[in-house]
């Protein structure tokens, strides 16, 4: 399969230096919110792993890490609207303070699904953190507690975010201009 998007180098939308500066600000907000409260930080795979790794190294409270695999895009540029769990959390979350780390909140459907699922596990508290939020693309009302950047409806890649498993390794968030 050949696709123009797979060979075109993405243009920088959010440079690495801005990501790292905002990441430190987000960590300070999270540190201030939780202070010395132990939290369970959940990484939504695969797109959040780079952001997640950088973020938890800046957090100052005791924490444990969990991983939740989800899919709603596959190899498409638009969500299917159906959230599939590909890897569930291993440890019980009842009574724990939970922070969900997302790469991008687009339609809000995936984050809404995650929140409903985690609240059903009787967590003590639940907060969300996203590197990127697309407010104009939301299909459901969802609040993100800690947001790195708000952008328009650009299809973005880089810093862990992919298109058909490509571009996760970019140190910046970029977009590919549609040539068609």
Predicted confidence at residue 2, as pLDDT, reads: 44
Per-residue confidence at 179, pLDDT binned at 50, 70, 90? Answer: very low
Predicted confidence at residue 16, as pLDDT, reads: 97
Q: What is the pLDDT of residues 87-135, one digit of tens each?
A: 789 899 999 999 999 999 999 999 999 999 999 999 999 999 999 999 9
Predicted confidence at residue 5, as pLDDT, reads: 46
Q: Which of 109, 96, 105 is nearest to 145 (CA)?
A: 105
Buried b (16+ CB within 10 A) or exposed e, 63-73: eeebbbebbbb
Q: What is the pLDDT of residues 24-43, one digit of tens each?
A: 999 999 999 999 999 999 99
Taking the C-alpha atoms of residue 22 and residue 152, their distance in angstroms, rounded to an integer, is 18
Predicted confidence at residue 164, as pLDDT, reads: 86
Kindly report the CATH class assigned to 4-175.
alpha beta
Predicted confidence at residue 8, as pLDDT, reads: 76
**Phi, psi dihedrals of residue 147, rounded to the nearest 5°:** -120, 130
Show Cβ contacts of residue 96 under 8 Å, excluding neighbours closer than 6 positions.
38, 39, 40, 123, 124
Q: Which of 106, 136, 145, 162 is catalytic?
A: 106
Predicted confidence at residue 72, as pLDDT, reads: 67
44, pLDDT greater than 80: yes
The answer to whether residue 169 is catalytic is no
Question: Which contiguous run of DSSP H or E holds residue 114?
Answer: helix 109-119
Predicted confidence at residue 1, as pLDDT, reads: 40
80, pLDDT greater than 90: no
Cα 115–chain centre separation:
13
Q: What percent of the chain has pLDDT over 90?
A: 73
> Hey, where are the domains in the chain?
4-175
178, pLDDT greater than 80: no
Note the pTM of the prediction, 2 decimals. Answer: 0.88
Question: Which contiguous run of DSSP H or E holds residue 66?
Answer: strand 63-71
């Amino acid at each position: 399969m050949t696709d123009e998007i797979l060979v075109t180098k993405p243009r920088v939308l959010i440079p690495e230096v801005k990501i790292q500066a905002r990441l430190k600000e987000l960590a300070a907000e999270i540190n201030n919110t939780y202070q010395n409260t132990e939290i369970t930080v959940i990484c939504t795979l695969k797109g959040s792993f780079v952001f997640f790794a950088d973020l938890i190294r800046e957090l100052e409270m005791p924490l444990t890490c969990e991983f939740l695999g989800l899919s709603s895009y596959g190899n498409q540029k638009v969500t299917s609207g159906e959230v599939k769990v590909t890897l569930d959390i291993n440890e019980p979350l009842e009574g724990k303070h939970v922070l969900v780390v997302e790469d991008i909140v687009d339609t809000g459907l995936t984050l809404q699904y995650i929140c409903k699922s985690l609240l059903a596990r009787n967590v003590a508290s639940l907060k969300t953190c996203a590197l990127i939020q697309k407010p104009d693309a939301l299909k459901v009302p969802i609040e993100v507690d800690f947001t790195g950047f708000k952008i328009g409806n650009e299809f973005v890649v880089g810093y862990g975010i992919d298109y058909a498993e490509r571009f996760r390794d970019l140190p910046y968030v970029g977009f590919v201009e549609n040539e068609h």
